[in-house]
Amino acid sequence: MPRLEDYKVVFVAAGLIGVLLFAYPTLSLVIHLPGGEKFSELWILGPEHMAENYPFNVTAGHSYTVYVGVGNQMGSSTYYVVYVKFGNQTEPLPNATAGIPSPLPPLYEYRFFLQNARTWEAPLTFSFLEVLFSNGQSLVKSLTINDVVFNVDKLTSWDTEKNGDYYQLLMELWIYNVESNATIFYNRYVSLWLNMTETV
């Protein structure tokens, strides 16, 4: 017949497990276990803050608004830069495989700190001031982004397969790297393809 002393270890272990389960909510405030993957998100929403109704057929003299958003799941507050770039249909997007940003020069930027598990969102309003059409080509001479004017002189040719004069408005996510003491491309980008049309 087993004696009470034989169950002593079982009682002590069960008691310790019970104490740890009871104290877990308090311990979790002090002890941080390694979490899952750390990452950041970048997105564009349409004018109604939805993933729809994005501007596509655009004309000079009209204003268009989308919303740029970033989500921080890095485990700590993080400093971000979102660069806005503009190019024609043949200019390169970032290279996701090599982690290289687009060589297009940034026109506009958003800079902000974001706490962990928080999101940031801002409007991006753009319009084309001067667009010329001639001989199957269109030339965007200037555009505005959030009321700032940029001279871009971007030329594109009529795309016979897709029937349009295509440009892209590109947003890249950059993040502050403590080790290099610099902002680096975080290999996240989104773009809007825009078909420039003549005003009739």
172 touches 102 (CB < 8 A): yes
Q: What is the pTM of this model?
A: 0.81
pLDDT (average), residues 166-181 = 94
At residue 28, does pLDDT exceed 70? no
- In degrees, rounded to 5, the angle at the alpha carbon of residue 138 between the alpha carbons of residues 134 and 144 is 135
Element (H, E) at 50: none
**Residues sharing a CB contact under 8 Å with residue 195, sequence separation 6 or more, in sequence order:** 56, 57, 58, 164, 165, 166
Query: What are phi and psi for residue 147, nearest 5 degrees?
Result: 70, 10
Mean pLDDT, the chain, rounded, equals 88
At residue 20, does pLDDT exceed 90? no
Query: What are phi and psi for residue 24, nearest 5 degrees?
Result: -55, -45
Task: Write down the domain spans for the chain.
Answer: 39-196
How many CB atoms are closer than 10 A to CB 60? 20
User: Which tokens in the block code for residue 137?
Assistant: 């080509």
- Residue range 39-196 in CATH 2.60.130.10: no
Q: Which residues, listed in sequence order, are joined to residue 148 by a DSSP beta bridge?
A: 145
pLDDT (average), residues 140-154 = 97
